[in-house]
Amino acid sequence: MRPQPTSRMCFVCGRENPRGLKLKFYEDPENGTVQAEFTLPETFQGYPGIAHGGVVAAILDEVSGRAVMLHTSSDTFMATLRLTVRYRRPTPVGVPLIAVGWVEQIGGVGAKVAGQIRLPDGTVTAEAEALLSTAPEEFRARWEAERPYWKVAAE
């Protein structure tokens, strides 16, 4: 699997964000997926022992959106227009998890993507579908200052 670039301050993937998750994402072109293996510390819990639903949604938004990079360049940024999350069971903290994202449909200026968070045995704890669109010009203009920090993180 190939590593994907990460940013400097993103909550999910930012290498320098002191409060972020610092997830590293890997492409599996053969299966058409993007994946991240991680364990959430208890600082990201809602109820005791259970990940906060907003953190779960953020991870699903990131992993599903990153799947677009399998079909475009890593500099093609899309923005989430709609994210629908289904919480199927509690996502635990302190347990190894895997987030998996893929593209369901891509074309024109948008994409339909999906993702899941899974336990080590493959049980799905949460899943999402998202509709993405090309990021607005004002976003892309602000991104230019951060471009030098968009790179593959050292292992």
Is the confidence at residue 146, as pLDDT, over 70? yes
Laid out side by side, the sheet with 33-39 consists of 2-3, 26-28, 33-39, 96-107, 110-118, 124-134, 78-87
- Residue 133: its pLDDT value, please? 94
CB neighbours of residue 30 within 10 Å: 7
Distance separating alpha carbons of residues 7 and 105, to the nearest angstrom: 26
* Domain parsing of the chain, residue ranges: 2-149
Give the whole-angstrom CA distance, residue 24 versus residue 1: 12
pLDDT of amino acid 145: 79
7-16, 29-38, 68-77, 87-96: which has the minimum mean pLDDT? Answer: 68-77
- pLDDT score of 18 more than 90: yes
What pLDDT is attached to residue 99?
A: 98
Q: Is the pLDDT score of 143 beyond 90?
A: no
pLDDT tens by residue, 96-135: 999 999 999 998 779 999 999 999 999 999 999 999 998 8
Domain 2-149 CATH class label: alpha beta
**pLDDT tens figures, 37-82:** 999 999 999 999 999 999 999 999 999 999 999 987 656 678 999 9
Give the Cα separation of 14 and 8 in Å (integer). 4
The confidence band for 154, taking pLDDT boundaries of 50, 70 and 90, is: low
What single DSSP character describes residue 93?
S
pTM of this structure: 0.93
Of 59 and 142, the one with more pLDDT = 59
